[in-house]
Structure 1
Amino acid sequence: MLYDVTRTTLRDMTHFPSPAEELRVLDSELRQLDARRTFLLARRAWLINALYGQTPVRPPAAAGPPARRPEASAPSVQNVLLVLGGVLLTVAAIAFTLVSWGQMGIAGRAMVLGAVTLAALGTPLALLRHGLRSTAEAVAGLGLALTVLDAYALHEAALTDTDGTGYAAAAAAVLAGVWAAYGLGIAKLVPAEGRPAVMYTPLSLPLPLSLVAAQLPLFLWSLAANAGAHTVTAVLLVTAAADTAVALRARITPVRIVAMVGAFGWGAWGVLAAGWLSWAAAGPSAAARAAALLALAAAIALAAAWLAPKPAVALGPALTGGLLTVAALGGMARSVLPDEWTVPGYLLCGVALLAVVRTRVPDPVRRGLVHASAAVQGLALLTSVPALAVTLLGPVGWVGRIWSGAPADARTAVTADLPWPPNTATAPLVLAVVAGVLALTGRTVSWRTPALIGALTLAWATAHVLPAVLELPYAVGMVTQGAVVVAALVFAGSPRPAATEPLRAPLPLTAALLALVTSLNLAFLALPSEPATLAVLTAATVLFALAAWRTAFGPVTAPASLVYATALTCAIGASVGWEPQHTALLVLTVPTTAALLGARLGVSPMTIPIEATGAAAGLLAIGLAATDPPLLSVTLALCGVITAGTAVRPDRRDIGYAAAALFVLASWVRLVAWNVEDPEAYTLPITVPALVVGFLRRRRDTTVSSWTAYAPGLAATLGPSLVAAWGDEHWLRPLLLGLTALTVTLVGAHHRLQSPLLLGGTTLTLVALHELAPYIAQVVDALPRWVPPALAGLALLAAGATYEQRLRDARRVREALGRMG
């Protein structure tokens, strides 16, 4: 029995409720927790309202609409009220000083202003100790404003004979000191809680306002002393230097912001004034004084860059300092050099900045000076652009005056229709110096390839501009340009890594492109002289052909060689006095050469450019022969022969259509030249080859439809001949066309071909109608007017009666045609 009781007790102790029962228990407990939480939140809200002196509000039984949120926070409302109060008190003080001042004696004035000012300046200390910082700020602002009124009142009462500007300078200095001492004194009496004093002050107005006042004394003093432009500029720069020092050392944010604004403002004004003085300097003495001012500005900028806390901030001042240094040194050099040497003077000063690369200066300063040097070099290059543009574009003007006579010198040769820009005597020197800098820099920098490309391009530009600048003889200028072409092609063909891949060898590719541009410019320069034109075109043809053979830039140089060869053939024809249509036959040697080269090269990057150039030369030959139909026919036939020879290659089969078109055009032009007007003479040369080609194609591919194989050829002759037959009054053309159409119809029926059967049958029917038309017209005229409607009605009745039979017959005809090829 004891055993049974123990077992029952253990079963009851280890009992677990079912999931449904446990879920009901959990839901009940959660509802109780929610009710308890709602009661506690309501009680908390009531206690808060009671604590702040508001009318206790009983928690509502049910949730109502949400309470309206205040549009402004308490601190913002407090600040607005304090600012308004301070402004109103300041206005009252101003009104008292300006209006009621004269009604009191000297003692009364002193007592009133002193008492009010001391009270306004002393009250913030007590307010700060009680934690009322916003109120203290407002009262302190009032006190600072009263000190300004005190200074004004002192001048009006006791110092009326002093100069106003000088007194303002002294007052600004005194106020700056007083405000700074006041702000620092407050900071010592009310220390910051847990923050360093150098980064926080209890009152935020005194120190920034003292720095604002400190901006004025030196400038106002210079105005009071009637100082010259150089002195005023020095004052601006000294003020900027002081602001820069404060901006670098200050840790209080408002003070640093005011200092930065002052540094940028005064510094920009001083730099502009010093730059203007340097540019307007009439002699070395004035230039030296302006240079000293620019050097001071540069020293300020470089010091700011050197001491800047962040590298990103240091880059801008370093760049500015470098530019100002160049402006200072270049201005001194400009005062003693001729006008055309101004740019080289500034450029050399800019290049000298690169000496800092190997010095131990901070990296941001070094990068800023390098960027400044690059900016100076870029500006110097811009001054050479007009001379280079005239050198490259000017020779194009000789196109309208070919072989009019060789010019006197190289400058005359490039200024056919353009004026030579002034002060460009030193343009080659500028280009050469920058090219040298890039060449030397390219040895050490990471952007080596762009630097070397720039050096190569500038060296090329130097060689272009030099003959015109020096006014060398015309022949010497031509030889110089030719030497540039040869040198560029030799450089492009010199062995180097990746030379077999032009897109991965940008430097040789640049050389090849520069050679191409130079050769084009040289060709235009040679136009005034016939011997020079022939010599330049011959040399260009040979040089670019050799370059295509020996370099990896055949896709560029090979077409160029063919272009110059085409121009050479035209020049030879004009030299021997040939008419354009006769010169066209000589031009055809170029497409012939292109076709032979294309067949020889096979699958090569040069093949397509060469063939495209040859095709363009063929079109030029056709255009030259267009005025003479017989020679145009010969030219078209020769172009067809060249094209047909190219179409023999397996990869150029599609060009055969172009060859056929050229042959057809050649025959048509010949027929026009012979005054042949019969359309069959024009269409049969198309029909016969088309039918032969269609026959051969159907033999190779039995799935080809007769419409594809024979319809184009048959329509080319039957259509125009039918149109001509309907307008022909004689019997021979309709007879021949009818016999031809009958033959085509019978052939189509015999071989079960749709195209010949339908085209031939349609043509035969129309020819028959054309022949019977006069007789039909006579019969219709002889019949009474009621007969045609009656016949039409009978035909309709017969068709209706046999409608189903006609449908079966039409279906059979359609099926029969469908079974044909």
Structure 2
Amino acid sequence: MTNLPPPAEELRLLDAELRQLDLRRAVLLRRREWLVHTLRTGAARQPGRGAGATPWSDPPRAGAAAGPALRPEASAPGVQNVLLVLGGVLLTVAAIAFTLVSWGHLGIGGRALVLGALTVAALGAPAVLLRRGLRSTAEAVSALGTALTVLDAYALHEVAFTGADGVGYTAAASAVLAGLWAAYGLLMAAPAPAGEAARDGSAAAGARPGLRHPLPLAVATAHLPLLLWALAAGTGPHTVTAVLLATAAGGTAVALRAVPVPVRVVAVVGALGMGVAGVLSAGWLCWNASDPGTAARAAVLLAGAAGLALAVGRFVPHADAARGAALAAGLCLVAGAGGVLRAAVPGEWIVPGCLACAIALLAVHRTPLRRPLRQGLALASAAVQCVAVLWAVPLVAGTLLGPAARSARPWSGRPENVRDAVFSALPWPPYASTVPLVLAAVAAVLLVAGRNTVRHRAAAVVALVLGWAAVLVLPVVLQLPYVAGLVAQGTVVAAALALAGWAGRGEQRPSPPTLTALLLALVTSVGLAFLALASEPATIGVLASLTVLFGVAGRRPGLAPFTAPAALGHATALACAVGASAGWQPQHTALLVLVVPAVAVLLASRTGGSGAAVPVEAAGAAAGLLALALAVTDPPMLAVVLSLGGVLTAATALRPERRPVGWAAAALFLLAAWVRLAAWDVTAPEAYTLPVTGPALVVGYLRRRRDPAASSWTAYGAGLAVTLVPSLLAAWDDRHWLRPLLLGVAALVVTLAGARHRLQAPLVLGGGALALVTLHELAPYLAQVVGALPRWVPLALAGLLLLVLGATYEQRLREARRLRDALGRLR
């Protein structure tokens, strides 16, 4: 029977074995790294067992910690590469200096012999170095050789082709050099015999790694010949653009078929650079053409760029890259069509034409193209549509904000048409006559394209906003008569409310389309109200219509929280307009404005508990504040408005859930009384404080009857202090005897009442007021007595008092405690 160790012991043993395996693996990895380095440098030797001969060492025993080893700051391959690069750079600089400075000291034969020998040696040596496994050295020498080929081309021009054009010769030289470097790179990557490869220590028998830089360098240089030849031939911008696009196509083909990663990277970068330059050049030529024919030539180039992008997207396996290529293709197609339209049609039809081309791109969804390509073209269409909508924003913003300028000069006269009324203070945007068509087209596309998607509701909301904007600016674009424009905007308000009512049927909470329709109705109504300020009859008629319209819409429970406050707001504006039309002063118009808070109180009482109650009350409160602002310049009328506001607030406080509003009603009544007293030039503080004290004491008395445990400070403290403190301050500066006498009598009565009923607040407040009044009345006599006494008498009396207090300190403390306890027993 096998005895298994406990789990804890077995886990400890497993951890020890795993640590030993990790240590052994680290030793083997160090050995492998040393062997690879030895094979690469060609200095393989049999490693000894002595210290420092090799990184091989016996694995540490289980449980033994390996000693710390010194780690070099730079690896051997890194040092090797630095030395090789530095040597190659120095040799290249030396060759350039020889070619440019010492060239004239040699004859033609000597020149050819020197450069030829150096170039052949530099290009041939890497083959030997690669067979020996010295790849880094081979790279450095071959880099020197490629640099020498450039110098050979320069020397050849200086000797044999001195009369050749510099740009043309550079084009031919770059083509030849690209071909030579490509052949050289392919030759250096040729397979080696199996036996030789095995002897050289290659990782895989039958192949050896080639040189890295010749092929990428050849691909990069191959982007230059066509462009340089075009420039040398003096061709036009269209030909240069075509050359750029053709070069980009060649680079794209190389990028798609190349296997080495560096070659693909260089080809992609070159193709992107040439392609972007070609597209920008073609777009500039297309949109700056003076006639349709020239624009069409550039549009053909853009179409070619679009075809190239689609071809790239067709063969690129990555979905994001294919989607980006299709997006670029779609934008190129629309840009080409737009450039032709710009030269062929009036300016206001350019954006609609581009929009039509963008919408046509959506037809790719019914084609067999790859899904990423279809998505990219759809994104291009969406981008163009967004630009078209942004182009329409200035007209929509002007239509909404322009009428607000009428508030500075209301009833200045009815304009001839609605455009003059809207853009009286703003400039008319250029080429804006087709804005309604653009907005309606984008809205239709959203409705059709988004109905079968997961975001159909968001698409419907955006389409609703765009359709509303199209209808809103249509009267302005058509320059309808002023009255017709008012009717058109009123129709928009009614339609938005009807749509909100239809969309909100059966909804517990308004959905985004319903909220959007309500918001559009509110925004349009505000703009319509400002637009109607040009004419007095139009103002009154529009405000009355809006009040009725929103009031009727407020009968639906789901719309009432939005439409009922809007109706009250328009009714407030209507009251102000009626008062101004009748020639009333602002303080008299305030009485008419108070009708709105009265209606709000009535509506809130009927809709209590629903979501419309709070918005209705807020609208009524805003109207009440406006009435106060209108009456603030006339104190008697302000007192009347405050009183009426207090009545309305008290009526609101009758509802059980609005009981705290009673405090606001009391404050309004009190303010009304104070304003009336101020209007009568009453300056006695008691006239302002006694109306507060009386009700406050009554409320305190009722409070203590319901709750006998309530403190007297809570019940009577505030009411007594409101009158006693201001009267005491006034009596302190009063030179007459009546106010102090009445205040002293009142304080005595309050003190006696507090003592009779054992109430702390009346006793303390009344007694304190009585003591201060008595001190105030005796102050002149005390001052006379003090003035008649010698100056040392007060000091002596103070010292004597301190001595007496010190002597009877303990007794005084006991008496103070008894006084405190007696006051504490009062309520």
TM-score w.r.t. structure 2 length?
0.89
**Partner Cα distance (1:788, 1:122) in 2:** 123
Map Cα deviations across residues 269-290 of structure 1 (whole Å, 9 max, x no partner).
1111111111110101110111
Specify the code of the residue in structure 2 equivalent to 1:118: V
Match of 2:122 in 1: 120
Amino acid across the alignment from 1:711: G
Aligned residue for 1:491? 499
Q: Give the Å deviation of 1:808.
A: 2.7
Query: Pick from 463, 470, 481: which aligns with 1:455?
Result: 463
Q: Aligned equivalents of 1:819 and 1:473: distance in 2?
A: 84
Pair 1:347–1:579, CA change in 2 (3 A): same
Structure 1 counterpart of 2:303: 295
1:119, distance to aligned residue in structure 2 (A): 3.5
Specify which of 258, 273, 280 is matched with residue 250 of structure 1: 258
Paired residue for 2:613, among 607, 610, 615? 607
Q: Kindly provide the amino acid, as one letter, of the partner of residue 455 in structure 1.
A: A
- Counterpart for residue 226 of structure 1: 234
Contact 2:191 2:208 in 1 (8 A): no
| 1:231 positional shift | 0.6
Could you tell me which of 211, 214, 230 is aligned with 2:219? 211
State the partner residue of 1:265. 273
Shift of 1:67: 5.9
**2:162 aligned residue:** 160
* Cα-to-partner distance string for 1:742-796 (whole Å, 9 max, x where unaligned): 1111111110001111111122222223333333344444445555445445544
The 8 Å contact of residues 354 and 370 in structure 1, kept in 2 or not, is answered as yes
Superposed, 1:515-554 pairs within 5 Å as: 515-550=521-556, 552-554=558-560
Query: What's the CA shift string for 1:655-699, capped at 9, x where partnerless?
Result: 111111111111111112222222221111111000000000011
Partner of 2:643: 637
AA aligned opposite 2:569: V
Counterpart Cα distance in 1 of 2:129 and 2:222: 28
Equivalences for residues 1-16 of structure 1 within 5 A? none
Partners of 1:636 and 1:732 lie apart in 2 by 33
Cα offset, 1:57, TM superposition: 6.3
Instruction: From the superposition, tell whether residues 121 and 747 of structure 1 become closer, same or farther in structure 2 (CA, over 3 Å).
Output: same
Give the corresponding residue for 1:8.
none
Name 1:466's counterpart in structure 2. 474
How far apart, CA to CA, are the structure 2 residues paired with 1:276 and 1:157?
42
Instruction: Write the mapping of 1:563-642 to structure 2, written as runs, cut at 5 A.
Output: 563-642=569-648
Query: Could you give the per-residue CA deviations for residues 48-98 of structure 1, whole angstroms, max 9, x where no partner exists?
Result: 999569996699xxx999664333222222222333333344344444444
Which amino acid counterpart does residue 493 of structure 2 have in structure 1?
Answer: V
Q: How does 1:724-743 map to 2 (within 5 A)?
A: 724-743=730-749
Query: 1:494 and 1:107, CA in 2 relative to 1: closer, same or farther beyond 3 A?
Result: same
Tell me, what secondary structure is at the counterpart of 2:538?
helix
In the alignment of these two chains, the number of paired residues is: 784
- Residue 329 of structure 1 corresponds to 337
Partner of 2:780: 774
Using a 3 Å threshold, how does the CA distance of structure 1 residues 799 and 299 change in structure 2: closer, same or farther?
same
Give the superposition deviation at 1:113: 4.3
1:134 counterpart residue number: 136
Partner of 2:62: none
Question: Which one is further off, 515-524 or 352-361?
Answer: 352-361
Distance 1:551 1:532, change over 3 A: farther
Q: Is 1:396 aligned to 2:404, yes or no?
A: yes
**More divergent stretch after superposition (80-89 vs 364-373):** 80-89
Matches of 2:290 and 2:388 in 1, distance apart? Answer: 23
Aligned pair in 2 of structure 1 residues 698, 202: CA closer, same or farther (>3 Å)?
Answer: same
Please state if 1:408 is matched with 2:416. Answer: yes
Counterpart for residue 180 of structure 1:
182
Gaps of 5+ in 1: 1-15, 17-25
Show CA shifts across 1:375-429 (max 9, x none). Answer: 1111111111111111111111111111111112111111232221222111111
* Closer, same or farther: CA 203–789 of 1 in aligned 2, 3 Å: closer
Residue 82 of structure 2: which of 67, 80, 83 is its match? 80
TM-fit CA distance, 1:219: 1.1
**1:354: which partner in 2?**
362
CA contact (8 A) 2:754 2:763 kept: yes
Separation of aligned partners in 1, 2:191 and 2:545: 93
User: TM-score, length-normalised on structure 1?
Assistant: 0.89
- Residue 709 (structure 1) aligned to one of 715, 727, 730: 715
Deviation for aligned residue 1:734: 2.3
Spell out the pairing of 1:87-102 with structure 2 (5 A cutoff). 87-99=89-101, 101=103
For the 8 Å contact 1:177–1:210, the answer to whether it is kept is yes
1:50·1:56 contact (CA, 8 Å) conserved in 2?
no
* Distance in 1 of aligned mates of 2:736 and 2:51: 124
Contact persistence 1:311–1:364 (CA under 8 A):
yes
Alignment-mate amino acid for residue 356 of structure 2: L
Residues 129-180 of structure 1 deviation map (CA, whole Å, 9 limit, x = unaligned): 2222222222322333333333333333333333332232222222222222
Given that residues 694 and 710 in structure 1 are in contact (C-alpha distance below 8 angstroms), is that contact kept between their aligned partners in structure 2? yes
CA contact (8 A) 2:554 2:563 kept: yes
CA deviation vs aligned residue, 1:528-550 (integer Å, no higher than 9, x gap): 11111111111111111222212
1:666 and 2:672 aligned: yes
Aligned with 1:676: secondary structure? coil
SS of the equivalent of 1:416 reads: coil
1:711: Cα distance to partner? 1.2
Paired residue for 1:442? 450
Name the SS of the counterpart of 1:251 in structure 2. Answer: coil
- What is aligned with 1:698? 704
* CA deviation profile, 1:619-645 (whole Å, cap 9, x unmatched): 111111112222111111111111111
1:307 aligns with 2:315: yes
Give % identity: 63
Moved more, 483-492 or 386-395: 386-395
Match of 1:368 in 2: 376
Contact 1:278/1:286 (<8 A) preserved:
yes
Separation in structure 2 between the aligned mates of residue 632 and residue 458 of structure 1, nearest angstrom: 47
- Aligned pair 1:143/2:145, yes or no? yes
Give secondary structure in 1 for the equivalent of 2:555. Answer: helix
Amino acid at match of 2:156: L
> CA–CA distance in 1 between the matches of 2:627 and 2:704?
37
Q: In the aligned structure 2, how far is the partner of 1:276 from the partner of 1:342? A: 16
After superposition, the Cα gap between the structure-2 partners of 1:690 and 1:119, relative to the gap in structure 1 and judged at 3 Å, is same
The residue type paired with residue 379 of structure 1 is V
Aligned mates of 1:714, 1:533 — CA distance in 2: 53
CA distance in 1, matches of 2:145, 2:792: 125
Q: Tell me the CA shift for residue 802 of structure 1.
A: 3.9
Give CA deviations for 1:223-274 in whole Å, capped at 9, x if unaligned. 2211111111111110011001111111111110110111011111111111
Question: 1:806: which partner in 2?
Answer: 812
Query: Aligned residue for 1:20?
Result: none
- AA paired with 1:157? V
Asked if the contact 2:313/2:322 (under 8 Å) is kept, the reply is yes
Distance in 2 separating the partners of 1:635 and 1:108: 114
RMSD: 3.2
Letter in structure 1 aligned against 2:211? L
